[in-house]
Amino acid sequence: MRHDWHVRRQTLLRATLAAAGCLAGCTSPNSGDATAVTPTYFTPVEGVGRRIQEALIVAQPGDVIELGGGTFHLDATLSLDVSRVVIRGQGPDTTILSFAEQKQGTGGEGLLVTQGGVAIEDLAIEDAKTDALKVSKAEGVAIRRVRTEWTGGAHETNGAYGIYPVQCRGVLVEDCVAIGASDAGIYVGQSQDVVVRRCRASGNVLGIEIENCTRADVYENAATGNAGGILIVSLPNLPAGNGRHCRVFANQAIKNNHANFAPAGNLASTVSSGTGIMVVAYDAVEIFENTIENNRTVNLAVVSYLATGRDIDDPKYDPYPERIGIYDNRFSGGGQDPQGRLGALLGPLLGGSFPDIVYDGMVDPEKLVDGELPDECKLFIQDNGPAEFVNFDLANFDPLHGRIPSFRRDVQVHAGRHEPLAVVQLPEAVP
Amino acid sequence: MIVTAVLTVAVGCAERPVPPARSPYDAPQRLSEFALFEGDPRRQRAARDVVPYDVNTPLFSDYTTKYRFVRLPPGSAATYHSDETFEFPVGTVLVKTFAYWLDRRDAIAGERLIETRILMHRPQGWVGLPYVWNDEQTEAYLALGGDVRPVQWIHDDGSHRANDYIIPNANQCKGCHRERGPVAPIGPKARQLNRPYAYPDGTQNQLTYWANAGILEDAPLPDSAPRLAQWDAPRSGSTAERARAWLEANCAHCHNPAGPASNTGLDLFAAQSNPRAFGVYRSPVAAGIGTGGRKFDIVPGKPDDSILLHRIASTDPQVMMPELGKRLVHQEGVQLVRRWISEMDANGSRATRVGGSAAR
C-alpha cells in the first residue's frame, strides 16, 4: 500500500544515504543531522492512523512527518514523544485529522506532544474526545496554521481545549483557528515566554485564555462569537504559581455573546456570556490598542479572584490584579444586556447596562501606603476615547444583605501609564 | 540493519562523523525471537532462563488474565529495595502476556492470547514494546502503533461479554511507566512479589525463589519484607488494606509524589498514612468535568459523593480513571472501594490502618 511504501522509503533512504557516504549528512547545508533526509509522507487511506503513530514513535530528532490532503479518520490519539520533529499538513482546510470515530480507551486527546522543539503546522484537528492539540512540558513549540474544531456545534460534551500548550517554555501559536471548545479554544497554561498572534477563535466558551503564565504577548487575534473573548487568569493551587506579565494588544474582541455551554462546576462555566476581555487576579497586564465591541455583558472587566466567590486555600496565591494598564483601546456598544451572576446582581443597580470597563476595586490591604496603592501596583486607564468606567467596590458590595456601595465612575482617578512591559522574546528552542 | 549501516558510514565520513542514532525501538519484529517460552506459546510456559512471577494485586486490564515473566542477563541479579521497584541490570527483559479466558468459569475451555508487552532495559533506558498475537496463536508481532482486538468471553456470572480490547501503543506504555519520572517497571516490588508461586518444582515464596536462583541480591526473608494485600482475598487483609492495595495497583503509578499526576497532590501508594494525601476531604485540582459536581476525592461514609469512586466507575473519556488501557469498569474493584469509603470514619481514621503485613 502507498503509505507503507512511503514509510519504507524513508527507512531505506536513511540507510542507503548513510551507506553511500553521507550524502545527506555531509552535503545538506542546513541540517546537522545526517538522518534527516526526506519527509515521511502519509495519505489518508484506511488504517493509516496506526502507521502514522508508528512513524511518530520511531521518529528521530530532525524528522518531518508530512500528511497529505484529505480527511484522516483516526480511531486513537496520536502522540509524539520525540524532540525536534515537525508534523506538517497541506493546510488547515486541506489536511484534516478527524477523531469523530475515536475509540474509547485509546486516549482522549487528538494529538498529544510531550517533547520540545516540535512544530505542528498546516492541519486541522476535528472532534477530539477531550483536547484537540495538547503540548505538555515542551521546551519550545510552534503551532502554525492549525485549526481545531468541534463540528457538531456548541455542546458541553465537546472537548475542553482546542490548542492547549501547558507547562511549556517557549510557545508560539500563530495564524490558528479554534472553534467549538467547551472551555477555551486557545489555552496556554502555566507556561513561560508565550506568543499568541493572528489567530481566530469563535464559538468556544472562551476564545483565548492565558492562565498562570509568565511573559505572554497576545496580539492581532480575533475573538468573536465566544461566551468570553480573551481571558487573562491567575488561579490558585497551580504548580506554576501566580500569572504575571501579559501584553494584550491590537486584538479584536467583538460580539462574544454566545451562550456559555461549559459543563457545570467548571470555572469556565462561571464566565458571563457577553464578556469581551477579562483579567482575573493577574499581575502586570497591558491591554492596549484593541477593538472591543458589542459584548453584551461587559467589554472589559478587571477583577480579583474574590469576585469568583470561591475559597482560597493557597498561601502563596495573590488574588489581586495589580499593575494593570488599559490604554488606547477602541470601545463601542456592549454592556447593554448583562448576563450571568454578576449581571443579575449588578446589572439592575447600574441601571440595566454595564459601562465599557468594569473593575471590582479589590486591593491588597497589605500593600496600601497611607490608604493608597503605590503607583506600581495601580490600575491605570488612559486614552480609551469616550469609554465609560465603574469601580463597583466589591469589598462593600452585598446587595443580598442590603449593602450597596457607592459606585465610582470617575475614571480620572486611574489616569496614568505604567512603564511599558518588555516585548516577549521567544527562546531558540521554538522552531 | 540500519544501525550497522550508519556505523559503517561513520568511518568513511571523516569530516562529519555520523552519530550512531540508534532508535530504542529497533527491536525484533517477532516475539519468538526473544525465545521466552518453551513449547507451544499458548501454554505460556517459561523457557529455562526465564522466571514466571505473579503480583499480589494487579492492575485491572479489562478482565484479561496476565502471565508475567522476567529474564536477566546470565550471571546478573536485580537489587532489592524495600519500597521501590527492584533495580534490574541492563539487558533485563520483563514480559507480560494478556489473555482472555473463553469461559471464566471453566479453565478447560481454554483462552486466547491477545498481546505480550515487553519492557527491555536498554543502555538508553527502559523501552516498552507491544507484540500482538496472531489468530493462529503461533506468533506475536511488534505493533508499536498499538491495535484494537474484538474479543468475547463468558463471564463469571455466565453472561456473554464482549470488548474491543485496546492494545496501547509504545508511547502509551510510557504514560503509565513513569511512576518516578523515567520509564521503568512498576510491578516487581517487594510488596507485590512477596507471595507464594507454584513453580514446576514446587510452591515457594517468590522472594525466596528469586534469591535462591541468584537473580535477586540483598533480599530479606519474606517475613521481614513488606507485603501488599491481595485485593480479592479477604484473608490477606482488611477491607481498607485491600482497597488501598487496589488503588495502589490501579492509580499510584501516576498518583504519587513523583508521578505524572503529582500536580494533583493525591498519593495513592498504600503506605501513605495521611488521609488528606490519599483523598479524604481533598479538593480536586485539575479534574474539570471529571468531578461530576462533587467537592472532594473521598467523603467518608459517602461513596456517591466521592470523586474518586465516580471516576473509577466511569468509562466516559473525560471522567474515567485510569485514563489509559480501560474500556470496562472493574465492577468488583469498584465494589471494594465503595465498601471501604462507606465504612470509613468521619475523620478517615479507619482508612489509615493499612500496611498489608505485620512486618510493615
The DSSP annotation for A100-137 comes to: TTPPTTS-S-SEEE-SSSEEEEEEEEES-SS-SEEEES
One-letter identity of residue B136? E
**Contacts with B5 from chain A: Cβ below 8 Å:** 15-16, 18-19
Mutate to test the interface with B, among A14, A30, A42, A104 (most CBs of B within 10 A): A104
**Contacts with A108 from chain B: Cβ below 8 Å:** 317-318, 323
What backbone phi and psi angles, to 5 degrees, belong to B262? -60, -25
Q: What pLDDT, on a 0 to 100 scale, did the predictor assign at position A37?
A: 45
Mutate to test the interface with B, among A23, A26, A57 (most CBs of B within 10 A): A57
Contacts of A45 (CB under 8 A, 6+ apart): A1, A2, A3
**Chain B closest CA to A212's CA: distance in Å?**
14
**Chain B closest CA to A59's CA: distance in Å?**
8
**Chain A closest CA to B113's CA: distance in Å?**
20
Cα distances from B347 to residues B245, B300, B311, B344, in angstroms, run 20, 7, 22, 8
The SS3 assignment for B311 reads: helix
| B172/A239 touch (CB, cutoff 8 Å), yes or no | no
- Partners of B150 in the beta sheet? B164
| A107/B148 touch (CB, cutoff 8 Å), yes or no | no
**Chain A closest CA to B97's CA: distance in Å?**
19
Mutate to test the interface with A, among B289, B307, B314 (most CBs of A within 10 A): B289
* Residue of chain B whose alpha carbon sits nearest to that of A62: B21
Assess A4–B contact: CB distance below 8 Å, yes or no. no
Max Cα–Cα distance, chain A, nearest Å: 85
B171, B315, B325: residue with CB nearest A79: B171
- Return the closest-CA partner of residue B66 out of B109, B116, B104: B116
| B25/A57 touch (CB, cutoff 8 Å), yes or no | yes
Mutate to test the interface with B, among A17, A22, A72, A80 (most CBs of B within 10 A): A22
For residue A63, what is its C-alpha cell?
A: 524528522
Cα distances from B237 to residues A390, B192, B195, B360, in angstroms, run 63, 14, 13, 13
For residue A86, what is its C-alpha cell?
A: 515537525
Following DSSP, what letter does each residue of B138-184 receive, concatenated? Answer: S-EEE-TT-EEEEEEEE-TTS-EEEEEEEE--HHHHHHHS-TTSS--
The SS3 assignment for B291 reads: helix
Q: What pLDDT, on a 0 to 100 scale, did the predictor assign at position B15?
A: 43
| A14/B2 touch (CB, cutoff 8 Å), yes or no | yes
| B15/A26 touch (CB, cutoff 8 Å), yes or no | yes
Q: What pLDDT, on a 0 to 100 scale, did the predictor assign at position A39?
A: 66
Mean residue pLDDT across chain A: 89
Assess A106–B contact: CB distance below 8 Å, yes or no. yes
What backbone phi and psi angles, to 5 degrees, belong to A3? -65, -35
What backbone phi and psi angles, to 5 degrees, belong to A117? 70, 15
Helices A2-19, B2-12: axis angle to 10 degrees equals 30
* Residue of chain A whose alpha carbon sits nearest to that of B18: A34
Q: Name the A residues in 160-179 with CB < 8 Å from any B CB.
A: 160
Q: What pLDDT, on a 0 to 100 scale, did the predictor assign at position A238?
A: 80
**Chain A closest CA to B323's CA: distance in Å?**
7
Sign of CA dihedral B225, B228, B234, B240: positive
b (16+ CB within 10 A) / e for B48-82: eebbbbbbbbbbbbbbbbbbbbbbbeeeebbebee
**Chain A closest CA to B331's CA: distance in Å?**
17
Contacts of B74 (CB under 8 A, 6+ apart): B49
- Return the closest-CA partner of residue B143 out of A396, A109, A51, A77: A51
**Chain A closest CA to B287's CA: distance in Å?**
9
**Contacts with B20 from chain A: Cβ below 8 Å:** none
Q: What pLDDT, on a 0 to 100 scale, did the predictor assign at position A9?
A: 38
Cα distances from A414 to residues A107, A366, B139, in angstroms, run 49, 20, 75
Mutate to test the interface with A, among B169, B264, B285 (most CBs of A within 10 A): B169
In this structure, the number of other CB atoms found within 10 A of the CB of residue A199 comes to: 27
| B23/A54 touch (CB, cutoff 8 Å), yes or no | no
On whether the CB atoms of residues A69 and A94 are closer than 8 A, the answer is yes
Distance CA B213, CA B51 (A): 9
One-letter identity of residue B209? Y
Q: Name the A residues in 310-369 with CB < 8 Å from any B CB.
A: 313
Q: What pLDDT, on a 0 to 100 scale, did the predictor assign at position B348?
A: 67
pLDDT in tens, B37-73: 999 999 999 999 999 999 999 999 999 999 999 999 9
**Contacts with A21 from chain B: Cβ below 8 Å:** 9, 12-13
Q: What pLDDT, on a 0 to 100 scale, did the predictor assign at position A349?
A: 87
Assess A30–B contact: CB distance below 8 Å, yes or no. no
A34, A239, A313: residue with CB nearest B18: A34
A34, A54, A157: residue with CB nearest B145: A54
The full 3-state SS of A10-73, as one line of letters, equals HHHHHHHHHHCCCHHHHHCCCCCCCCCCCCEEECCCCCHHHHHHHHHHHCCCCCEEEECCEEEE
Binned average pLDDT, 10 residues per bin, chain A of 431 residues:
38 37 32 51 94 94 96 95 97 97 82 96 96 95 98 93 96 98 96 98 98 97 98 88 96 98 83 97 98 98 91 89 98 95 86 95 94 94 96 85 84 96 97 96
Distance CA B293, CA B93 (A): 44
Q: What pLDDT, on a 0 to 100 scale, did the predictor assign at position A58?
A: 93
pLDDT in tens, A90-125: 999 999 999 999 887 777 899 999 999 999 999 999
**Contacts with B326 from chain A: Cβ below 8 Å:** 105
| A239/B263 touch (CB, cutoff 8 Å), yes or no | yes
- Return the closest-CA partner of residue A112 out of B32, B169, B95: B169
Parallel/antiparallel/unpaired status of strands A161-166 and B125-133: unpaired
What are the domain boundaries of chain A? 131-414
Q: What pLDDT, on a 0 to 100 scale, did the predictor assign at position A51?
A: 93
| B144/A19 touch (CB, cutoff 8 Å), yes or no | no
Entry field: residues in chain A: 431
| A18/B6 touch (CB, cutoff 8 Å), yes or no | yes
**Chain A closest CA to B209's CA: distance in Å?**
37
- Rounded to two decimals, the ipTM of the complex is 0.80
Q: What pLDDT, on a 0 to 100 scale, did the predictor assign at position B142?
A: 96
Residue carrying the nine cell digits 480620572? A412
**Chain A closest CA to B241's CA: distance in Å?**
28
**Chain A closest CA to B20's CA: distance in Å?**
10
Following DSSP, what letter does each residue of A148-183 receive, concatenated? Answer: EE-TT-S-TTS-SEEEEEES-EEEEEES-EEE--SS
b (16+ CB within 10 A) / e for A254-290: bbbbbebbbbebbbbbbbbbbbbbbbbbbbbbbbbbb
A25, A54, A263: residue with CB nearest B289: A263
* Residue B259 backbone zone (phi > 0: left; psi -120 to 50: alpha; other: beta): beta
Distance CA B84, CA B184 (A): 11
Distance CA A89, CA A275 (A): 34
On whether the CB atoms of residues A429 and A169 are closer than 8 A, the answer is yes
* Residue of chain A whose alpha carbon sits nearest to that of B262: A239
**Contacts with A239 from chain B: Cβ below 8 Å:** 263
**Chain A closest CA to B334's CA: distance in Å?**
18
Q: What is the DSSP letter of B349?
A: H
Q: What pLDDT, on a 0 to 100 scale, did the predictor assign at position A15?
A: 37
* pLDDT beneath 70, residues of chain B: 1-22, 286, 288, 348-360
Q: What pLDDT, on a 0 to 100 scale, did the predictor assign at position A237?
A: 78
The SS3 assignment for A210 reads: strand
For residue B287, what is its C-alpha cell?
A: 479534574
